[in-house]
Amino acid sequence: MSEIKRKNNDNKVIDTESDLFDADLKGANLLGANLVGKDLTGANLEGADLNRANLSGARLWHANLRDAKLSEANLSGADFWGAKLCGAQIWNAELSGAKSLTRENFLEQKGRKTTCGIDEKGYRGAAGGYRLLKQHFLSKGRYDDVSWASFREKTMEKGLLRKNKEYLRYLACALMGLLCGWGEKPNRVILSSTVIVLLYSFLYTLLNATQALSNVSLKLWDNIYFSIVTFTTVGYGDIIPLPAALPRLLAASEGFLGAFMIGLFVFSLAKKYSAR
């Protein structure tokens, strides 16, 4: 039988076999504690060390687990209804059968700012924690929560690449994050495409790189139209690039980017919504 008594930060002995309903265990050392099936409703476990603790089947309704350490803890079957887990460490925890565990458990309002997430001080551990949450949410069919956890996982992986000085992989990862949020934010593809179209429009205007078949003077709005047509690879209409190397190179590069961004948009939509 595992040890059932731990000392908290005030050196008071905590009997984990007693009633822990609404207990104040802030900062308590509960490393490896046996809390199977315990009722911890309303308990204050903020900053508590619950690494390797067994909380299987525990009731954690409205428990305060902010900044708690839950790495390698057994949380199978635990009920997290209304629990606060913002800033918690959950690396390599067992979440099979966990109940009422959603993204909402990790939300915290600080003034006008809403923070959301687990402890992100260590990129590798945080990425593993978000990966666990992603798998749990997927098993429960909570696809919006899956998208959130997946995005945060990739954000942590990006930070890890930078920390490890893997700059080429970091740049590729950062670019995908910027353009489409690693497939989780299709709206970023639309925004990025709009920026590309406008940038090329200004270049066409600045370099006087286009001409109308009717030989009329072209303005910025005409070049925006030409840029949209080129970007979407529809084909040239009554406006074409000048028969010179630079204008043709610009038009060709925009057409390539357009085809890439359209494909990226389809990929993002499929990744985000196909499982639903």
**Phi, then psi, of 40 in degrees rounded to 5:** -110, 30
pLDDT in tens for each of the 276 residues of the chain?
A: 344 445 455 555 555 556 689 999 999 999 999 999 999 999 999 999 999 999 999 999 999 999 999 999 999 999 999 999 999 999 999 999 999 999 999 998 776 777 789 999 999 999 999 999 999 999 999 999 999 999 999 999 999 999 999 999 999 999 999 999 999 999 999 999 999 999 999 999 999 999 988 877 888 999 999 999 999 988 777 899 999 999 999 999 999 999 999 999 999 998 887 755
Report pLDDT for 108: 84
Report pLDDT for 234: 84
Q: Which two tokens stand for residue 170?
A: 């970091």
Relative orientation angle of helices 245-273 and 220-231, to the nearest 10 degrees: 60
Question: Under 8 Å CB-to-CB from 3, ≥6 apart: which residues?
Answer: 32, 33, 34
Report pLDDT for 256: 96
Question: What DSSP element (H or E) covers 189?
Answer: helix 186-207
- Measuring CA to CA, how many Å separate 76 from each of 35, 94, 100, 136? 12, 6, 12, 11
Report pLDDT for 2: 42
- Measuring CA to CA, how many Å separate 85 from each of 32, 46, 80, 106, 118? 19, 9, 9, 5, 7
Report pLDDT for 4: 44
Measure the CA–CA gap between 87 and 151, rounded to whole angstroms: 17
Report pLDDT for 113: 74
